[in-house]
Amino acid sequence: MPKDQPVTPQILATETVFRGKIWDVARETFDYNGQKLVREFVQHPGAVGVLALDEQQRVLLIRQYRHPVRSYLWEIPAGLLDVPGEERLAAAKRELMEETGYEAGSWSKLMDFMTTPGGNDEVITIFLAQNLQHVGHNLELEGEEVDMLKEWFPLKSTGKCFGLGDPEPNRSRWHHGGGSSPGRKRRQLSSRYGYRSTRGAG
């Protein structure tokens, strides 16, 4: 089976050509097989996504407006790794709570994948969450999250979300929500989480 191979090229120069609210754009010059190459790419903090599965084999999805594509997209709960020092599993638990009000009694890692490796260094980790319990939260949501919906979908039927029999395969799919929602204001959830986030987006 093919296996990806990490490489550590010699970096000759690095500069930030754009500094944004959530992520930056870097320009790097590096040596590749004797050639001096220059590439620009988005420097992404990384993200996590949660496949929340209940006892009825249903998947919990959220619908959120995504401005870059001018669409409401159905996504698995997900978010950025933008809390300093936070581990990926802890981030996944936090995002599931913030976006759905659910906690999970069982967690397992499904996969890591690179979303757009030609121009973005994002790595998103997907976790499976089971034994779910709705406990709610006291977060104040703003921006695109004010009208965010959540709904359970049968796992068996979600193959259509990957373009199987879908007349518009690039539109009606699951997405991970590892992007930004700049308006979210964090509240301290409870003593069991033990954090107060200072981040500006999720």
Q: Structure tokens of 16?
A: 């930030």
Does the predicted model carry a pTM greater than 0.85? no
CATH 3.90.79.10 positions along the chain are 47-176
Phi-psi region at 80: left, alpha or beta (left = phi > 0; alpha = psi -120 to 50):
beta
Whether 99 is a known active-site residue: answer: no
Predicted pLDDT of residue 141 = 80
Query: Which CATH architecture fits 47-176?
Result: Alpha-Beta Complex (3.90)
Distance from C-alpha of 173 to C-alpha of 142, rounded to nearest angstrom: 25
The catalytic position among 75, 145, 151, 168 is: 145
Predicted pLDDT of residue 179 = 57
Segments of the chain with pLDDT less than 50: 162-174, 182-202
Predicted pLDDT of residue 159 = 57
pLDDT digits (tens, 9 = 90+) for 73-128: 999 999 999 999 999 999 999 999 999 999 999 999 999 999 999 999 999 999 99
Predicted pLDDT of residue 200 = 32
